[in-house]
Structure 1
Amino acid sequence: MTAGTRVLDLLDTAPRDEPPRSGADRAQVMIAEVTAISVDGTQVSVSILGADPVQLPATASVWTGVTTAHVLMDPGTGRPVHVLGPATKPLESASTAPPTQGEDPVTVVRTATVTPEWSGTWTAGQGWDRLNVGRYGGRTDLYQGALAGIPRTGLATYGQRITALAASKITRAVLTLTGNGSNRGSWTAIIQCADKTPAGPAPSGTTAGVTITGTATAQVDITALAGGLMAGRGLALVGSSYGAVHGTGASMSLALTYEALA
């Protein structure tokens, strides 16, 4: 056997690099568009290269205002398996050509769940955060109405968490409220946009209402208040009937559907 023949025999027996399965991608991490986020942020729906959205488990992260995410792919099947966290750069799709200069922006519909940056209660004659700080949900609970003749007004603020979405229009806004049990009966929460001031909440504009019983959770459509939310205003409880809701967790969170330019 010649040396040349020996080399050819060795090449014939060398392992071949098998091609990926149908639909597979050699990249283990891809950037995908975020289409929906669960209230607790542990499930995120993403769309990869324009495909139909798929819901995946997600690493705990701050998802407010996030539009793209890093997604771990199965290198064998090419399928997404886990959302690693928010992406720091815009989604770049190989299947979509970049817009030419002068091309009109496209309006897209997105969803986001926004939780309060801060919440508390103003008590007349006492100021902020003086009520039941060691009971129920503590300092962050939002109260409304008068107890023992003393008026109280709760407020939740969202900082830049809504304005950072760069929404051109909020088409639907649903507020979730969970009673803290200070009123075990039924009462009506009246919600209004408001600014926080040293003298208490400064509410104005349209109101919305929902009935809450004990520690139950209720939801109310507050799309009519969208203008105030887009302006960076918070939400106050301004009703006359006494009651309170939590200001943390899912309570006082906003499920938003909005339009933005892409």
Structure 2
Amino acid sequence: MTSDLDAMLLAGLRPVGPPAAADTSLITTGTVLAVNADAGLVQVAVRNDLGAAVEVPAVAARYRPGGSCRVAHNPFAGGRSEQVLGAVDPLEPSVPGTLTAIDTEARRATVTVLGGSYVLPYLPSTYTVGTSVWVDLDGWGRPYRVGAPSDLVAAPAGAVPPPSSSGRTVQATVTIMAQWSGSYRSGSGWDRWNVGRYGGRSTLYQGSGYGSGPMKGLAVYGDQVVNLGATSLDRVRVMLLGVGLSGASGPATVQGSPHGAPPSGAPASSGSTATGDGATDLPGDVREDMRTGAVKALALVGSQYWAVAGAGNGAGMALEVTHTRPA
């Protein structure tokens, strides 16, 4: 007796299915890196692969930066991420913010919430400038209305409120990319060395070579780590990717820096250092300072002439952050 498969083979047909080497996972859990609500896109890190950040279409959900989401994959395209299906741990429908001004004629209130300042309509109530208010979020997690006064203290500026307290914690790993990077050349300024090669302006240099004078690279992460709302950073690795600098000798050495944005002058840095080539672990005191926001950048401080890839150049200066936060 001939089976259906045998009949297909005899007829010269082949069953249709994913390629033999394809990842056949249909749904996995990823980490939210950024949300573009206007375009309906979410940047997500999947399978905890350092630097594997992709931006894909997403359904509306109150995504939490650093939180988890469900990602649909296409096994016929090697497991390519196709769509973000929703948040695992979404923001609450209303979060506390701080009322900074109110215009009773225009019926608009100015509030600081989720790290930004917004002018929003408000529902009738008795409001006092300087106090906390409930801010309602739309389906994408964007503030759209002040709902009522709140007796809860608003989250600090730049912080994303943690999920509702349940006494439980969860450990997660997220990839965080540098928002900006560059190199400061002593006595000359920013972006004054090899800006047309070796990765361009965003490359981070250290040391001195070929008449450059002392240089110090900087990668800025802003509030991305603080916004995780972590109770501890259990492991942080930074990707130090050499750019094939001619006549140079690595590896790179990094140190914590307080700059949440590019400084106008030479970057400051202090504390413990880490030296490596490729994914390099940061010491415990640097991790804790990143968690609290005392460190918002990493500086290249080695004495030998060397350079590593920066923001926008693959996984250059990407952070792989394993952290514990409230569930």
Aligned-pair identity in percent equals: 33
SS of the aligned residue for 1:226 comes to: helix
Q: 1:203 aligns with which of 264, 269, 272?
A: 269
The residue identity in structure 2 corresponding to 1:257 is T
Correspondence for 1:90:
89
Is the CA contact 2:186–2:214 (under 8 Å) kept in the aligned structure 1? yes
In structure 1, distance between residues paired with 2:31 and 2:274: 28
Correspondence for 2:46:
44
SS of the aligned residue for 1:200 comes to: coil
Superposed structure 1 runs of 4+ greater than 6 Å apart: 61-64
Is the CA contact 1:36–1:44 (under 8 Å) kept in the aligned structure 2? no
Alignment of 1:152-163 (within 5 A): 152-163=215-226
SS of the aligned residue for 1:167 comes to: coil
Correspondence for 2:148:
none
Is the CA contact 2:207–2:304 (under 8 Å) kept in the aligned structure 1? yes
The residue identity in structure 1 corresponding to 2:65 is G
1:255 aligns to 2:320 (yes or no): yes
Q: 1:222 aligns with which of 254, 259, 282?
A: 282
Stretch deviating more after TM superposition (120-129 or 183-192): 183-192
SS of the aligned residue for 2:208 comes to: strand
In structure 1, distance between residues paired with 2:314 and 2:279: 14
Correspondence for 1:243:
306
- 1:186 positional shift: 3.5
Is the CA contact 1:69–1:84 (under 8 Å) kept in the aligned structure 2? no
When normalised by structure 1's length, the TM-score is: 0.64
The residue identity in structure 1 corresponding to 2:89 is P
The residue identity in structure 2 corresponding to 1:181 is G
Q: How many corresponding residue pairs?
A: 200
5+ long unaligned stretches in structure 2 = 1-26, 34-42, 75-79, 92-163
Larger relative contact order (Cα-Cα within 8 Å, sequence gap ≥ 6): 1
SS of the aligned residue for 2:315 comes to: coil
Pick closer, same or farther for the CA change 1:189–1:88 going to 2, 3 Å.
same
Q: 1:146 aligns with which of 208, 219, 224?
A: 208
Is the CA contact 2:71–2:85 (under 8 Å) kept in the aligned structure 1? no
- 1:71 positional shift: 4.5
Alignment of 1:67-106 (within 5 A): 67-72=67-72, 84-85=83-84, 87=86, 90=89, 104-106=166-168
- 1:112 positional shift: 0.3
SS of the aligned residue for 2:256 comes to: strand
Pick closer, same or farther for the CA change 1:73–1:209 going to 2, 3 Å.
closer
In structure 2, distance between residues paired with 1:127 and 1:186: 23
**Deviation per CA, 1:87-142, whole angstroms, max 9, x where unpaired?**
468359xxxxxxxxx97521111110111000000011111112111111000000
Q: 2:177 aligns with which of 93, 109, 115?
A: 115
Pick closer, same or farther for the CA change 1:43–1:128 going to 2, 3 Å.
closer
The residue identity in structure 2 corresponding to 1:105 is G
**Deviation per CA, 1:189-247, whole angstroms, max 9, x where unpaired?**
1110013432211001111111x4xxxxx221114220232215200000100000010
Is the CA contact 2:30–2:71 (under 8 Å) kept in the aligned structure 1? no
In structure 2, distance between residues paired with 1:58 and 1:119: 20
